[in-house]
Amino acid sequence: MNYQNDKKTISIPLVVAITLVVGMFIGATFFGKRTSSIDLGSNVNNKFKEILMHIDQSYVDEVSIDSLADYGISQMLLKLDPHTAYLPKQEAVLAKSELQSGFDGIGVEFNIFNDSLFVVSPLSGGPSEAVGIQTGDIILKADSTNLTGSKLSNTLVFNTLRGPRNSIVKLTVKRKNFSKPLTFNVKRDKIPTYTVDAAYMLENSKIGYIKINRFGETTYDEFKKSLQDLKNEGMASLIIDLRGNPGGYMDKATSIVDELVGGNEVIVYTKGKDKSNNYTVNAGQKGIFESGKIVVLVDEGSASASEIVSGALQDYDRATVVGRRTFGKGLVQAPIQLSDGSELRLTISRYYIPSGRSIQKPYELGNQLDYRKDIMNRHNSGELFSKDSVKFNNKQKYKTKGGKVVYGGGGIMPDIFVPQDTSYYNTYLFELFNGNIFREYTLEYAAKNKVSLEKMGYETYMKTFQINDAMLTDFVSMATKNKIPYVAKDFKNSKKYIQTQIKALIARNVWKSKNGLVNEYYQIVNQDDDMVKIAQKQLMK
């Protein structure tokens, strides 16, 4: 399969890839929470405090001692591996909520567009839905905090709308066809978070598809339920999509592997300086799907726990791995909570998958810049577009259970390579995404046409509905009004992709699956997805 990729089009998805990688430097494979009581001696303990005390007492200008301390800690950790990190209290709370089963808030999916905070959807059963917040509402204020203008950001929204359970926030809302703003008092409650995005049967087949976006507190339970539901629908083989999945809790990954492999052999083991951090996880429980073909989809954004799943299944010859070489994160972090609520995520060991290989890519202590450039280097070397550009270390050659040769020292190399397709990418498309045009247009279209679309029904919509030229004209017009100049050549090049995204996002806004699933979106976009097509062919052999 040959794609025509030039340097301009390739550079745009690279920006997305680099953004994705940022999350991985926080560390993704955690053990349980820890506290520290290590005595390093009075000299080391007191030196840092002593310097800060002198600055606080005698420095000529007013400065924030807390900010200086945070900065000093962060700079110190740069001398270690790329995944050891320090999170100030606020960041620690936000990062933790991404993996835990829920957080306390008002329960809305939102979109920032034109310096305004739009409600994409009140979450089903959540506090906002209960008081009457609707899709398309614009939240102007939360208590006395303005949520409009150039200072509006995701961080401001999270800080304002999240809060202690049972606390009340007064929302001032602008609603279409109402001359005056509306006021709602919303009592915050626990909002569930989901990590399985999709679980459905591919059309006219016995192939199930499950998409996991990260490995959080509830991932195993979500996966197991989805797996059983698909088996009940007649699933005989399975696609597990781990593309762009940066990892998460290691025990959730090993539990998923255990559902898919028989026996009681090793799934993963760890080695570190402190022997108390060394342990082995074996299979053992009777799994739901221990027979039947499996394909795992991966790419350069699949890291940590994703690599445990794909690597272990590959080592057992239990699954065919399809895609591109994974990120290569085989370092294990322990979250150590500090006294002020901040958190140290300290690398304590390396993990190894059944063949004995480590998938951690090389790094130099204190040289995080080169490590962060790895995805860019893969792009520049052509690795993302040609299997022949991937270089293996023959000193790290291992064998799977069935004798197939695999390599350690830098991610999981797929059994079937699929090049990155950037043929439809260009600056205009990037600006459309960056300006939230897709989300805003499809939200508006769905709101105006919801009744007729629901009457049509999703199955008919998926098979027959077309994004016509009139819709595309309105879409381009919205972009132009929002200072994204029309580029005819780029639009023509991306037209099919744009149509697919618009159709899928409209479906997502009109029909909502239960338990956080967005099957309608993935059923549409996966029809044009090369990796899914290759996986389907592999499973039908």
Per-residue pLDDT of the chain (541 residues; tens, 9 = 90+): 444 444 444 444 444 433 334 344 333 444 444 544 455 555 556 788 888 899 999 999 999 998 998 898 889 899 999 989 888 887 787 777 666 666 788 988 888 888 899 887 787 667 888 888 987 889 999 999 999 998 898 888 988 998 888 999 999 999 887 889 999 999 998 877 889 999 999 999 999 999 999 999 999 999 999 999 999 999 999 999 999 999 988 999 999 999 999 999 999 999 999 998 898 999 999 999 999 999 999 999 999 999 999 999 999 999 999 999 999 999 988 888 888 888 998 999 998 999 999 999 988 888 888 888 888 888 889 999 998 888 888 889 999 999 999 999 889 999 999 999 989 989 999 999 888 899 889 989 998 999 999 999 999 999 999 999 999 999 999 999 999 999 999 999 999 999 999 999 999 989 977 788 999 999 999 999 999 999 999 999 8
All structural domains of the chain with their residue ranges? 102-192, 196-423+535-539, 427-510
Q: Cβ neighbours of residue 44 under 8 Å, at least 6 residues apart? A: none
Q: Are strands 397-399 and 405-407 parallel, antiparallel or unpaired?
A: antiparallel
Question: Tokens at residue 504, please?
Answer: 């899928």
CA 290 to chain centre: 27
Amino acid identity at 43: N
User: What's the confidence (pLDDT) of residue 190?
Assistant: 84
Helices (H), 59-143: 65-77, 89-99, 127-131
User: What's the confidence (pLDDT) of residue 366?
Assistant: 83
Q: Cβ neighbours of residue 63 under 8 Å, at least 6 residues apart? A: 55
CB 29, CB 23: distance < 8 Å? no
CB 334, CB 30: distance < 8 Å? yes
Q: Helix, strand or coil for residue 114?
A: coil
Q: How far is CA 271 from CA 265, 336, 489, in A?
A: 18, 19, 54
d(CA 350, CA 328): 12
d(CA 359, CA 362): 9
Strand (E) or helix (H) holding 456: helix 437-456
Kindly tell me the sign of the dihedral angle through the C-alpha atoms of 475, 479, 482, 486. Answer: negative
Q: Catalogue the E-assigned strands of 367-526.
A: 397-399, 405-407, 416-417
Helices (H), 166-271: 219-232, 250-260
Same fold, 102-192 and 196-423+535-539: no
DSSP state of 249: B
Instruction: Identify any residues that bridge with 398 across adjacent strands, giving them in sequence order.
Output: 406
d(CA 133, CA 119): 8
125, burial (CB in 10 Å: exposed 0-12, middle 13-18, buried 19+) = exposed
d(CA 159, CA 499): 35
Domain 196-423+535-539 of CATH type 3.40.640.10: no
Q: Helix, strand or coil for residue 322?
A: strand
Phi, then psi, of 237 in degrees rounded to 5: -145, 165
User: What's the confidence (pLDDT) of residue 253?
Assistant: 96
Assign domain 102-192 to its CATH superfamily. PDZ domain (2.30.42.10)
Name the nearest CA neighbour of 346 among 85, 74, 536: 85
Phi, then psi, of 123 in degrees rounded to 5: -70, 135
Q: CA angle, corner 358, sides to 82 and 250, nearest 5?
A: 75
Active site residues: 304, 315, 329
CA 165 to chain centre: 26
Label residues 262-281 b or e (16+ Cβ within 10 Å = b): eeeebbbbbebeeeeeeeeb
d(CA 502, CA 362): 41
Q: CA angle, corner 99, sides to 93 and 100, nearest 5?
A: 75
Q: Helix, strand or coil for residue 172?
A: strand
CB 527, CB 462: distance < 8 Å? no
d(CA 310, CA 295): 9
Instruction: Identify any residues that bridge with 101 across adjacent strands, giving them in sequence order.
Output: none
Q: Helix, strand or coil for residue 28?
A: coil
d(CA 154, CA 147): 10
Question: Tokens at residue 482, please?
Answer: 């929002």
Phi, then psi, of 85 in degrees rounded to 5: -150, 155
d(CA 64, CA 81): 28
CB 522, CB 209: distance < 8 Å? yes
Question: Measured between alpha carbons, how far apart are the two ends of the chain, in Å?
Answer: 19
Q: Helix, strand or coil for residue 502?
A: helix
Strand (E) or helix (H) holding 441: helix 437-456
Q: Are strands 116-122 and 108-113 parallel, antiparallel or unpaired?
A: antiparallel
CB 336, CB 34: distance < 8 Å? yes
DSSP state of 358: B
User: What's the confidence (pLDDT) of residue 531?
Assistant: 97
Q: Which long-range contacts (CB under 8 A, 24 or more apart) does 90-96 make?
A: 90/159, 92/337, 92/341, 92/342, 92/343, 93/341, 94/158, 95/26, 95/343, 96/335, 96/343
